Amino acid sequence: MTLRFIGTTSEHGNCPTLYERVETGDVVVQGDELTDPEELAQLRDLGERETCVVIPRDLLTRFAPKE
């Protein structure tokens, strides 16, 4: 799959960042991993291969698809 850069709110080249899978339109998120045990315990049906990242609201409102 080919990733297309959508945008970032990082000022130093680190995360958070959004990408799009060109072939499918899926959104790929780069961000800090959620590691707080209390927050992780609240997640539903987290798959064995899944992880969660923390995304600042500003990144989504600025760059997320509006469709």
Is 65's pLDDT higher than 90? no
Count of domains observed in the chain: 1
Is 42's pLDDT higher than 70? yes
pLDDT tens track for 9-36:
888 877 899 999 999 999 999 999 999 9
Alpha carbons 55 and 22: distance in angstroms, whole number: 21
pLDDT average, residue stretch 48-62: 90
pLDDT of 67 reads 66
Which domain, by its residues, includes 32?
Answer: 3-63
pLDDT of 15 reads 82
**Category of 13 on φ-ψ map: left (φ > 0), alpha (ψ -120 to 50) or beta:** left
Q: Full-prediction pTM beyond 0.85?
A: no
